[in-house]
Amino acid sequence: MTVKLVRETKESRVEVELGPGTDPARIETGKPFFDHMLATLGRYAGLSLGVRARGDLTHHLMEDVAITVGLAFRRMIPATAARFGERTVPMDDALVQAVVDVGGRAYYRGRLPNALYEHWMRSFAENAGATVHLRVLRGRNRHHVIECAFKALGLALRDAFAEGGSVFSLKGSVKVTEG
């Protein structure tokens, strides 16, 4: 299954394509480091993530990309997903742990050394319907800490999306329909 979404406001336009595979997808936001983080998330999550976005301000661009990418991830969650994932990733001086639950309850707790990326994670979690906990265990270099966070989140999501064989909840499957 491939999910294609377009989100457009007066402030931004975001196109997201999310599907199976790890082929590098085209990411174009006009922000090279942000592009690198999105490509990293897709690769480590084990999914092909394509993003084309433009916006009036960096804040609006990043927030709207997080919303749209989160919605796409939400639509990709298998009914019989393992649901939970946890990974800790080192990168030079940085060490970051990500723990996720893709069971439909949106919550974010973390503290990244950059307000825009902190806001990105919160917006992503809310729109993915996922609980995301990030812990920066070590790190002084902000680039390394943020990149570790995206890698750890991607790997944790990969684990959570893995086929679990059955619905992993006592309440059964949760269905959300449009219309």
| Residues 155, 98 contacting (CB under 8 angstroms) | yes
**How much is the average pLDDT of 112-137?**
98
pLDDT at residue 172, rounded to an integer: 59
Helix (H, G, I), strand (E, B) or coil at 116: helix
Task: Tell me the pTM.
Answer: 0.92
Question: Which residues neighbour 21 within 8 Å (Cβ) at sequence distance 6 or greater?
Answer: 47, 48
Half-sphere exposure of 63 (CA within 13 A, CB side): 11
pLDDT at residue 159, rounded to an integer: 97
Structure tokens at 170: 């006592």
178 has a pLDDT exceeding 80: no
More confident residue, 63 or 177: 63
Banded model confidence at residue 177, pLDDT cuts 50, 70, 90: confident
Q: Which CATH number fits domain 3-161: 3.20.20.70, 3.40.50.720, 3.30.230.40, 3.30.360.10?
A: 3.30.230.40
| Residues 106, 151 contacting (CB under 8 angstroms) | no
118 has a pLDDT exceeding 60: yes
Distance CA 101, CA 63 (A): 21
**How much is the average pLDDT of 125-129?**
98
* pLDDT 10s digits, 25-61: 799 999 999 999 999 999 999 999 999 999 999 999 9
Structure tokens at 91: 């990168």
